[in-house]
Amino acid sequence: MIPLLFLLASGSGFSQGNSSYDVPRTPDGHPDLQGVWENNTITPVERPDVFGDKEYLTDDDMVFISQRIDEIMAAGEDALFGGGVLEAVFSGEIASYDPTTGNYDSQWMAERTVHRRTSQITDPPNGK
């Protein structure tokens, strides 16, 4: 009986008012994150320090990053994934994704999508 009272009492503190939105759930009760997700974006989950508090890339940033990606891809360097793309753009060094077994070179890579957002995390505002 005491655990039940505790659950009832603690649950009332999490109430969000009279929201009519129901979070989609999978059959086992977890939030439903199913769908089509882009995996060729270079936007990192957490904002790199090089961007500071900048939430969006400027036109000049977009041109610079796009040109550097084109140069890297044209050079036929090792395949780059996720955060490795931005690291290569700003450091000038291309680190292998899988130096032990090797992997496909850039010929086999899908074109990378460059978005203006500097991180996928939007809250907190610093992107971390």
- In this structure, the number of other CB atoms found within 10 A of the CB of residue 54 comes to 13
Burial zone of 128 (CB within 10 Å; 0-12 exposed, 13-18 middle, 19+ buried): exposed
Q: Which tokens sit at 27? A: 């059959």
Q: What share of the chain is helix, strand, coil (3-state, %, to 5)?
A: 35, 5, 60
pLDDT score for 28: 96
pTM reported for the whole predicted model: 0.57
Q: How far apart, in whole angstroms, are the C-alpha atoms of residue 87 and residue 71?
A: 14
- Which contacts qualify for 95-103: CB closer than 8 Å, 24 or more apart? 103/78, 103/79
Preceding omega of 31 cis (within 30 degrees of 0): no
Exposure of 79 in the CB half-sphere (CA atoms within 13 A)? 16
Ordered per-residue pLDDT tens for the chain, 128 residues = 555 444 455 555 555 566 788 889 999 999 998 877 777 788 888 998 888 999 999 999 999 888 888 887 777 655 566 667 777 787 777 655 555 555 555 555 567 788 899 988 888 888 88
Number of alpha helices (DSSP H) and beta strands (DSSP E) in the chain: 3, 0
